[in-house]
Structure 1
């Protein structure tokens, strides 16, 4: 099992956090998003770049998923850049 390093990218005022993995050998990057929720604990999802594939959704509505995906697409060039750097 290969473990990925996860790096913080963005925290919104509502506590939503965006983190990302290092770029894998196949060019994919895992973007994790989670938002604290008083009832459920956390809502979360995984987006796999560069295909923008949404997976493992817990608690987010379709509308919320679309907004998250739009933010990821808007920031993808930076996420890709930072994922190649690692902790440098």
Structure 2
């Protein structure tokens, strides 16, 4: 399940998963999505490794921005993942 986190000024929606156990480590998947005239741009990153699972259409400049965004928000994303989303915080 993905929980809403924030919508950026350019209408990119950011959602996150519940905590996921991978190789004995607690992880959170963060999904980025923005509507276009032809469909959607989407990308997904795994925390804490900051490994991009896929990127379908976002530029390298946008991915670099998302990386910085994640570094600034990782602690909150983990907190909200544990609590079942922002609405429960």
Give the TM-score normalised by the residue count of structure 1.
0.86
What's 1:63 paired with? 61
Identify unmatched segments of 5+ residues in structure 1: none
Q: Per-residue deviation at 1:13?
A: 2.3
What's 1:74 paired with? 72
Aligned-residue CA RMSD in angstroms? 1.3
Find runs of 4+ consecutive structure 1 residues off by over 3 angstroms.
none
What's 1:16 paired with? 12
How many angstroms apart in 2 are the aligned matches of 1:66 and 1:13?
17
How many angstroms apart in 2 are the aligned matches of 1:35 and 1:69?
16
Give the TM-score normalised by the residue count of structure 2.
0.85
Equivalenced residue count is 83
